[in-house]
Structure 1
Amino acid sequence: MAKINLTVHCATGESPAWDAAARAWYWVDIPAKRVWRLDTAGKARSWDLPEMAGCVAPRARGGLIAGMETGMYDVDLFDNGTVATTLLGKPADLGAGMRFNDGRTDRQGRFWSSTMFMDMSAAKNIGQLYRYDGNGLSQPVVSGLLTQNGLSWSPDGKTMYLSDSHPKSRLVWAFDYDTATGIPSNRRVFANLADHVGRPDGAVVDADGCYWICANDAGALLRFTPQGKLDRRIDVPFAKPSMCTFGGPDLRTMIVTSIVSGKPEDAEWGGSVILLNPGVQGLADASCAF
């Protein structure tokens, strides 16, 4: 299974998303306040943002939607290297020292992301999960999160996955999901990474309905069946994989971002972005429809 290093290095690479219309991937480098784009010809370029973005997703009308430090924003990227941002909504809890983190669209094109307190050593469980749709930014949908991650949906959209990657949690939950209203219910533990390796970071569901989670600190991708059974592990060349998603014309290419660990043995690959073929097909994420 070939791993292609894109020779792009990020301090905290996060939130890769495939834009089928643009035939390109987008992702962010959080502390660098930067968004990256990679097209299918292998050309990469970046734009500087006015503040940190924890996540991005393509919008159906073009451009991106982003969860940032001060709210959710429209983000338009221009060929001359400039960026235009428009505030879509700001939750009341987004105070000093906080920002949005992991985010993804559901199968109906609603955009989801949660807030977090950036100093993880403080272990403040004040993060809250929000939905953005035709009614604007929702009230908190899930509360009490330390470091939210792992958003993804089953192929039929009726199961929502969510994780908390903080060392004090390391849990992945599943919810029943009402596709008509965008309301999750019946929260239960889907996987506890304390029983496996690493911490659960970003994730994606494949066409078989299996859930791929980046095992941060363990240098691996773990695939769980819909029943919560670990059935595959792929080791990656960096210690801290942060998020993965499928893309490419046939949705068989996986892009994986990573975080610089600061460890000498991780100096070459830490923060890299790679492409690999895991041998399964992915699903096309819906662009944000609102």
Structure 2
Amino acid sequence: MTAELILDARNATGESPVWSTAEQALYWVDIPARRLHRWNLVDGNTQSWEADEMLACIARSSDGSWIGGMQSGVFALAPQVNGRLETRLLCGVAHAQPHMRFNDGRCDRQGRFWAGTMHLDMAAGLPVGALYRYTAGQSEPLKAQISGLTVPNGLAFSPDGTLMYLSDSHPDVQKIWVFDYDTDNATPYNRRLFVDMNEHPGRPDGAAIDADGCYWICGNDAGLIHRFTPQGKLDRSLAVPVKKPAMCAFGGANLDTLFVTSIRPQGDVRDQPLAGGVFALYPGVKGLPEPVFNL
């Protein structure tokens, strides 16, 4: 299967693709560039908006606006006609150390926003990251639900919402876990190993769930997107023409396109000139509409 280049975006760290069914458009972020991007399926036009902080993960809100995890907390996001991304702090975060930011995140099936944090110096391998939950109207500060993470990634929820997946993509960890998830209390429990990615090519980065309940995870450094069954068995691996696919998301008119964002490393990229691009794969399965933040 050949990956189709959707946009030669040259993102430093293209992350958090989210498909808007209403707009027939793909949104995603470039974290260090502090930008939110939009690509329209119908005419191929693109737009982007710049924020004041690094923006790592986004979710649509039930009123059509956006919510996102940035450096200092969870924010409401509003793209402006002047190319600025207006931000309003919803809930701050007390990081374990200075120089941290949010990373991967999304909503559960009930519309609560989950996102993990990491240290900006990934190479240091500091397990100071945590996974947080934000619910609309929440007045108390964000509280770590899962601690001891280095680079939290791969967050996803099963189609019925009763399972939560989470990975740590740091080279010293490279594991994916699955939790039972109490949908009433928004509580993950019974953590167990789902996949040890040390046994497969690539580090586990961003993920998506398809309509069959299978888990798609980007194999960062390997140029692959892996599909695992709910039992944790590798079902297939699809290639993209870059080394660092970052996150995938189902979209398109029939939710049967798997969009993939990627990372463009600093330095020589002559062996992967499309690094940082956005790609489309057609795996023959459908995804699910991305849950929206419940206001």
Whole-Å Cα distance in 1 between the matches of residues 285 and 268 of structure 2? Answer: 32
Q: CA deviation at 1:7?
A: 2.2
Which residue number in structure 2 is paired with residue 134 of structure 1? 136
Query: Among residues 237, 250, 255, which one is paired with 1:233 in the alignment?
Result: 237
Which residue number in structure 1 is paired with residue 115 of structure 2? 113
Whole-Å Cα distance in 2 between the matches of residues 204 and 82 of structure 1? Answer: 29
Matched-pair contact (CA < 8 Å) for 1:48–1:83: yes
Q: Deviations over 1:210-244 (max 9, x none)?
A: 00000000000000000000010001110000000
1:8 aligns with 2:38: no
Q: CA deviation at 1:95?
A: 4.3
Q: CA deviation at 1:257?
A: 0.4
Which residue number in structure 2 is paired with residue 31 of structure 1? 32
Q: Deviations over 1:5-63 (max 9, x none)?
A: 11222011001011223322111101111110112222111111111011111111122
1:180 aligns with 2:184: yes
Q: CA deviation at 1:285?
A: 1.2
Which residue number in structure 1 is paired with residue 20 of structure 2? 19
Whole-Å Cα distance in 1 between the matches of residues 14 and 269 of structure 2? Answer: 19
Q: Deviations over 1:89-110 (max 9, x none)?
A: 1121264210000011111111
User: Which runs of 5 or more structure 2 residues have no equivalent in the other structure?
Assistant: none
Whole-Å Cα distance in 2 between the matches of residues 44 and 264 of structure 1? Answer: 24
Query: Among residues 185, 204, 208, which one is paired with 2:208 in the alignment?
Result: 204
**Other structure's SS at 2:68 match:** strand
Letter in 1 for 2:281: L
**Other structure's SS at 1:53 match:** coil
**Other structure's SS at 1:194 match:** helix
Whole-Å Cα distance in 2 between the matches of residues 202 and 212 of structure 1? Answer: 8
Which residue number in structure 2 is paired with residue 273 of structure 1? 278
**Matched pairs, number:** 290
Which residue number in structure 2 is paired with residue 90 of structure 1? 92
Alignment of 1:157-176 (within 5 A): 157-176=161-180
Give me the CA root mean square deviation: 1.4
Whole-Å Cα distance in 1 between the matches of residues 268 and 221 of structure 2? Answer: 11
Letter in 2 for 1:210: C
Q: CA deviation at 1:4?
A: 2.5
Letter in 2 for 1:109: G
What TM-score comes out, normalization by structure 1 length? 0.96
Query: Among residues 191, 202, 211, which one is paired with 2:195 in the alignment?
Result: 191
1:47 aligns with 2:52: no
Whole-Å Cα distance in 1 between the matches of residues 210 and 120 of structure 2? Answer: 30
Matched-pair contact (CA < 8 Å) for 1:13–1:30: yes
Matched-pair contact (CA < 8 Å) for 2:92–2:142: no
Which residue number in structure 1 is paired with residue 156 of structure 2? 152
Matched-pair contact (CA < 8 Å) for 1:106–1:285: no
Query: Among residues 286, 289, 294, which one is paired with 1:284 in the alignment?
Result: 289
User: Which runs of 5 or more structure 1 residues have no equivalent in the other structure?
Assistant: none
Letter in 1 for 2:239: D
